Structure 1
């Protein structure tokens, strides 16, 4: 580590590769330190997310007008464009590892480990496995080999996976179960072309079919079967309008067993056959 006025530290700066930037998460910088008695950072802001892992010591952390004591085993997260400040207890100096990153997966990944915009400090989450992963990540980041970006990402995702498991075991993550009706819609939106039935959807969300159907109608306004049909017919219309596929290809791609059953369903829905609609186009 290099000596600075307020700490001993080693910093690793990373320029995300095109492959990393095309994904959901990419590292920006990382490092580790051992604080001196006068250690204090901020008040300041950064433009990315930065999770700090407290390996030893204790101190104070302030963000979003919340002032909290931090200690060994905790993590805290600096949020983009939020004023923060943290300092070390002179009698028990902080020893930390930090990882800064960005990307569209940052928020959902942080949420899995108990960090939100309103709760940026998680107590007692670190264990030996997580610390070992941090050591592997440090070894990788020291090399900063552009051709090894996939390996680096695999370590970071492994880190979040282990943090997520630890968070669940300690009941540290906020409980935000998805509404099963929303879950059923997401399932149908994704798999409507794979010949799924209402019974399949009800089984997927773990609800009795009749109760599922009644509740779906009350919330969405149509039966699940009509919802599935609408998804198929809307997609059929898009494909027919593109004029790049035959009607038979479209029928089979949407889960129909043959052209006849698709054409009948299409005509019942739009009051014209697929060929008639294509002719009008």
Structure 2
């Protein structure tokens, strides 16, 4: 396995471009490309990929992640020997990067003046090739990224819906990078797990999530989940989940004309009455009242965007 690191400046942050899924049959090869403009991040599901970057040959196996650099020569140095399947993500990093045998700090390409506050020049460190301990969870995020990206491209007529799906895809991509980047020495194991739980909740907020499920995913006792989260964030997983769901709901209320019942299902509430009750408790008004109140503050707002009324 390659013992190399890719250090990427996060000023500006890396940007998601597109993603997909591919299956190669025995005898087939990865495309031969020169000067491809994006990073290619691959997550192996099965089989072995024999890939070269310039003159360096690599073999990538199941449950491994591998990154190809932009503007380099990518090609197969040997055909597939078996059915090979992986998910891929293309992204760009305009903030500068370097590949080396050790992680390196990379200076940002944006000069940030410290007029009032100073933004630290953060560098993200990722192993070029690494084993992914929970590949199913990572692939689940990639599928969500692709689904949101696809919906965004299909909704050209609805600018607001396009915006929601675009930013969801970018947020999920950022969470993916956070999941695969190297852990810093300053982070305790409790903080690391709490951050992983937070990311999982935010990436899967529209699904059913249980303490038992979180315990199995992060290999800790279900009773420890709340302890870790309260210590790191001052919130239980359930409080964080509801807060995030309700925050997402406000975006749909203000940026779409979807009925409140549909928005409730979209953000993970199976019961629209429970959603309305939770929303009113958190924001002080019902979902329809919230929409009416804040839509009226927008220029050129219309009464037709009020949706279904809930008492």
Task: Indicate the TM-score class for this superposition, using the shorter chain for normalisation.
Answer: 0.3 to 0.5
Choose 1 or 2 for highest CA Rg: 1
In proportion to residue count, which structure has more helix? 1
| Higher relative contact order, chain-length normalized (CA < 8 Å, sep 6+) | 2
Question: Structure 2 length as normaliser, TM-score?
Answer: 0.40
